[in-house]
Structure 1
Amino acid sequence: MRLLIDGDACPNKEELYQLALDYNIEMIVFCDYSHIINGEYETIYCDVGHDEVDQIIYKEAHRDDIIITQDYGLASLLILKGASVIHVNGFILDEDNIYSYLASRYESAKARRSKKKIKQMKKRSSDMQENLLSCVKFTIESHN
């Protein structure tokens, strides 16, 4: 089991790294070369481009890995691989809910193409940060 992080949009990397240390699991952060990420954890840099990071994460992910991402398309593929997927806002993405999130993503993209006004995303709250850490901790413990 490893903790793989889609680093372009994931907050709390230092707190997640401390969790990984506490549970003695490897943590790898994936990002493209346009981002600079400093930390004691392993960082894998990818080419800059649409879905470049997602493709590398998918290729590297194994069954039983825990992946943190906000990309529903990537999450759906990782779920099929047998990985545990956690959204950066602190909720589990699984076969029971991924299709509704993919449908929502599709509807939002359709609305953007037709120039319809769409809701702004909520600003990240401290509750979301706490939920992420709690969800990761719960998932790690349930794997042991």
Structure 2
Amino acid sequence: MSDPVTILVDADACPVKEEVYRVAQRHKAHVRVVSNSPFRVPVSERVKRVVVSDGFDAADDWIADNAGPRSVVITADILLAERCLKAGANVLRHNGKPFDAASIGSAIATRAIMEDLRAGMDGVGGGPPPFSKADRSNFLQALDRVLVKLGK
């Protein structure tokens, strides 16, 4: 029997933690909820809260250091996604769109362009679109697909 799949959740500002717990339970996957401050997590042998220091990128560092071929990382952080892809992990955004080798380069470039645009706007701007029911549904389907693939 191979090692269990572990879902690593970049928990700060993650809108799909409850969905992760449900899908993980169905697939008997382990979950690590990583954050700088405590979050309530379900009482389960498979679900563990990992509270790191509030140092810059401490949660990202923990996730990247623990990511690998038998893990699924849930994050919106493009630079963390890149680090985890290099470690062989599967990486999903909160809306279910995967980060992969083909998309990470353009995502990093877009991030840099948007950062430059925001810098010139003096705090005026919209940010990402609101999280929708369709995003939640897409995420559930994407996570299920990845866990089925890793379970084979």
Distance 2:105 2:126 in 1: 21
1:124 has 2:131 as partner: yes
SS in 1 for 2:35: strand
Task: Name 1:80's counterpart in structure 2.
Answer: 86
1:39 has 2:45 as partner: no
The TM-score normalised by the length of structure 2 is 0.87
Distance 2:30 2:99 in 1: 21
1:19 has 2:29 as partner: no
Match of 1:54 among 42, 47, 60: 60
Q: What displacement does 1:86 show?
A: 0.3
1:30 has 2:37 as partner: no
Q: What displacement does 1:120 show?
A: 3.1
Distance 1:58 1:120 in 2: 25
Amino acid at match of 1:127: A
Q: For 1:35-65, what per-residue CA distance to the aligned partner results, in whole angstroms no more than 9, with x for missing partners?
A: x411222110011133121011111212221
Amino acid at match of 1:129: R
In the comparison of the two structures, how many residue pairs are matched?
Answer: 142
Q: What displacement does 1:128 show?
A: 0.4
Distance 1:80 1:51 in 2: 17
The TM-score normalised by the length of structure 1 is 0.91
Identical columns (%): 25
- Over the aligned positions, Cα root-mean-square deviation in angstroms equals 1.4
Runs of 4+ in 1 over 6 A off after TM superposition: none
**Gapped runs of 5+ residues in structure 2?**
none
Q: What displacement does 1:18 show?
A: 1.5
Task: Name 2:140's counterpart in structure 1.
Answer: 133
**Gapped runs of 5+ residues in structure 1?**
none
- Conservation of the 8 A alpha-carbon contact between 2:67 and 2:88: no
